[in-house]
Amino acid sequence: MNILLLSNGAPNYHHFFNNLAQLFCDDGSRVVVAVDSEFSREVNELKLFDFSVYEFSSYFAKHKIDNALLEKYSEFNLNFALLSDFERATVYGLWGKKKFDYFEKLKSALLSYFEDIFRRDNISVVLYENVSNAFAYFAFFVAKKYGARYVGIGGSRLPGRFSITADPLDDSELVEEFRKIRAAVKVVDPEVRTQCKEYLNNIETIVPDYMKTNGSDNTSLVRKYGKAENLKRIARVLRHSQDDSYHSFQIGNPARTYLNLFLRNFHRRLKLFAIGAYYEEPVAGEDFLLYPIHFHPESSTSILAGTYLDEYEVIRNIAFNLPQGLKLYVKDHISAWGYPSLEFYKKIRKLPNVRLLHPGEQTKALIKQSAAVITLTSTVGYEAILMGKKAFVFGKVFYDFHKCVVRIHNPSELFSVLRGELGRHVDVDEKYNLDFVCAYYLSTKPVPLNLTLKGEAAKLLAVKVHSLLTSSHDSRNSGDEHLVGDLRVC
């Protein structure tokens, strides 16, 4: 089996993925690495492993636009695949001025680069996290053309479990598991059903694993930057400050990028003293929809809800389409508060029928008190449906087939959709939600996933994930039978 490992600037992810790839090598597979830049090649310590490495930025610099290749892939939304990196570059100030044909050249170069790797190395598996950026998206496109499998490893909302995603916009595995359970084609192991019932019974107090480990709620500059390892990081940044930043499209000039990241966190810290004036408290007895602000930039928005990246515009549209007597509670995100501009908070505060809530307000209590949740792709929508509330959803999200979910396909019809659906009762009994959670359980894998682990912890996590992907262990209680043998050495 020939595996293509994607490697880029995702912080600390390389500790896990390098070790996982090495385990496949130890099994007899061949691993090659696609890395976005020379900076990432060093930071991700690829020289410590005996992998063939293909670096993209120098390839990009030499590439000439291949219009025939772009036409070959015209069935895919190539322009949309650039959106996630465009948003990151905008938020973090990564890019300077680009020539008009820069993005045509980038699309062409990415396709050509990955095609060259697939042809040269006969790739059968692409290994990375869920499709979250343009580098991964174009690898996914080429994998589709070449009949290879994209293995995207990511967290789930269920504690202690992770997911494998082959297509960022297709959650058919969960849908199929649910269909089989509802049709009694599949019988869920009693132990699994018991675990899922306990999860539902405690949903009001459970926090997803990713919220415990992402660290974005840490607003202390001392804790973020006052570490000895930052001196090593600064040395690396300075070594690569003269690299070709124009063609290093994901990192830009690392010196400028890291400075901008620091300034973003610095300005966030300053804004925290000011934004408190814009928050209100919930009002007892008030009828409201709950809208959770999302973290940006993140694949849950730029990939799964790319049409709605401007959250002020989304919130404003909701505010001016609320049925009479209903308010909109906009709850700030514990990992994101302070990052938006003060102007963002000011404008939300001015909207009619809108209350802006502090991120410390209890989300589960708000869900229970709300008429419904309205969201792009948030976990809050998922928690709402499990608590018997409707969720109006703008983006593409794994739980959107649940009968308590109402997809917003046309924002111009929001008033009629809200008015009609809020008055329509949906009968969701305990068994329906239990079957739904069981289906979700069976489409995930039994290991708590933290991709930012380092050292021995990252190695141990890699061993556990590798074992699940390759061994034919007893899967009766884990729902992993569909993976057995998929990634064994051929």
What pLDDT score was predicted for residue 177? Answer: 96
- How many percent of the chain have pLDDT more than 90? 82
**Higher-confidence position of 490 and 49:** 49
What pLDDT score was predicted for residue 191? Answer: 97
pLDDT averaged over the chain? 92
pLDDT band at 235 (very low <50, low <70, confident <90, very high): confident
pLDDT band at 483 (very low <50, low <70, confident <90, very high): very low
Per-residue pLDDT, averaged over 310-332, amounts to 97
What pLDDT score was predicted for residue 427? Answer: 86
296 pLDDT higher than 80: yes
Tally Cβ neighbours within 10 Å of residue 348.
Answer: 23
Domains of the chain: 2-155+453-470 (3.40.50), 279-438 (3.40.50.2000)
Least confident residue range of 103-112, 190-199, 229-238, 282-291? 229-238
What pLDDT score was predicted for residue 214? Answer: 58
What pLDDT score was predicted for residue 160? Answer: 95
Per-residue pLDDT, averaged over 111-127, amounts to 98
Q: Which two tokens stand for residue 307?
A: 């049409």
475 pLDDT higher than 60: no
Rounded to two decimals, what is the model's pTM? 0.90
Least confident residue range of 134-143, 192-201, 250-259? 250-259
| Residues 140/145/148/150 CA torsion (nearest 10 deg) | 20
Contact (CB, 8 A) for 125 and 102: no
352 pLDDT higher than 70: yes
How far is residue 201's CA from residue 195's CA, in Å, rounded to a whole number?
Answer: 10
What pLDDT score was predicted for residue 171? Answer: 76
pLDDT digit string, tens, across residues 52-94: 999 999 999 999 999 999 999 999 999 999 999 999 999 998 9
pLDDT digit string, tens, across residues 160-185: 999 999 998 887 899 999 999 999 99
25 pLDDT higher than 50: yes
Per-residue pLDDT, averaged over 2-12, amounts to 95
